[in-house]
Amino acid sequence: MEREKGEVWIFAEQEDGVLNDVALELLGKGRELADTLGVPLAAVLLGSGVEGLAAKLFEHGADKVRLVDDPALKNYQNRSYREVMIELIEEVKPQICVYGATSLGRDLAPSIASALRCGLTADCTELGIGSYTDPVTKEEFANLLLQCRPAFGGNIIATIVNPRNWPQMATVREGVMKLPDATPGKTGELVRHEAKCLATLELPVEVLEVVRAAKSVNLKGARIIVAGGAGVGSAENFKLLHELADVLGGTVGGTRAAVDLGYCEHERQIGQTGVTVRPALYIACGISGAIQHLAGMQESQKIIAINTDKEAPIFSVAHYGIVGDLNDVLPKMIKAIKAKAAV
């Protein structure tokens, strides 16, 4: 069938002419999907004066870069980007289109899905290709995009498919897919598109001012993370984690429960709907180990878990465990590190 020859697309998000890392991460996974399907991998790049970014996309695995370069696309706006993407998708008919689950991606992707009446799975932690049999009609579908995301409750991963309404679309958070190695000098086909819709488009929004906040917390780049959960008990106790992080030269993170309880800032949330991290050392304090949290940290090289409950699931991903009260263990740890440092 014709539609099965469709390309695999990743949306190459850029801001002020700088590619978002997530675009390159998606190329790594996109490459695997495209190779399994035997179709080209294309990065879709929208913006103004952004042609120069194509080289980097090729080097990270894109066979094609589909470029819409237009002054009207200088700044992201839902209406313009949405209309251009819809026009492009209807013209080229990709079978898969994956977006970064960034603020921009989460604004754009659902609008496109709504207009095209196709499915969209948010915050996937894994993507693959596989078959699906409709349990009612017994109809079989080969080579579908399998969209995995941790599901509500228990330790469960749900796999979502969109067998009928294509393109198959998903979003993936930053840091979830591994950044592929670049192949310096690798090139590909640059396809320039004119978006006809731009000629007549009236934008309902005028951007008056943009204020970029300096990022105060950099979890993604941290080598050591000290993370706390609801078990920390209070914002006051959370200071112990900061103290430990300070002596280790690490960064403090938290679970959603810790954020909801006001123990730490939202930007420190680690997990499916927070940041995904892969530090050399992850110290989990008072964290039960819910699947949505594990999704964001289980690739850490060494995991230490401190929890009063020896049955807590966090221990099954940990390399070192201490069953005990963190208010007792953390001061001991700080003391031991200071003592070793003094030697």
Sign of the alpha-carbon torsion through 263, 268, 272, 276:
negative
Of 150-189, binders to other proteins (CB under 8 A) are 150-165
Yes or no: say if 277 and 270 are a contact pair by the CB < 8 Å rule.
yes
Size of the site for other proteins (CB under 8 A): 88
Question: Measured between alpha carbons, how far is 324 from 329 in angstroms, rounded to an integer?
Answer: 7
**Residue 340 makes contact with other proteins by CB under 8 A:** yes
Footprint of ligand FAD (CB under 6 A): 152, 229-231, 233, 255-258, 269-274, 286-288, 290, 292-293, 296, 306-309, 312, 325-327
Question: Measured between alpha carbons, how far is 88 from 83 in angstroms, rounded to an integer?
Answer: 9
**Residue 199 makes contact with other proteins by CB under 8 A:** no
C-beta neighbour count of 185 within 10 angstroms: 8
What is the closest distance, in whole angstroms, from the C-beta atom of residue 203 to other proteins in the complex? 9
Binding-site member from 27, 42, 172, 248 for other proteins (CB under 8 A): 248
**Residue 339 makes contact with other proteins by CB under 8 A:** yes
Print the binding letters for residues 110-129 with other proteins: x by CB under 8 A, - otherwise.
xx-xxx-xxxxxxx------
Contact stretch for other proteins (CB under 8 A) within 6-14, 65-73, 186-194, 289-297: 289-297
**Residue 294 makes contact with other proteins by CB under 8 A:** yes
C-beta neighbour count of 312 within 10 angstroms: 22
Q: What is the DSSP string of 120-131?
A: EEEEESEEEEEE
What is the closest distance, in whole angstroms, from the C-beta atom of residue 284 to ligand FAD in the complex? 8
Q: Which residues pair with 80 in a beta bridge?
A: none
Sequence-ordered list of residues with C-beta below 8 angstroms from that of 23, at least 6 positions apart, any chain = 10, 11, 12, 13, 14, 43, 57, 100
What is the closest distance, in whole angstroms, from the C-beta atom of residue 147 to other proteins in the complex? 8
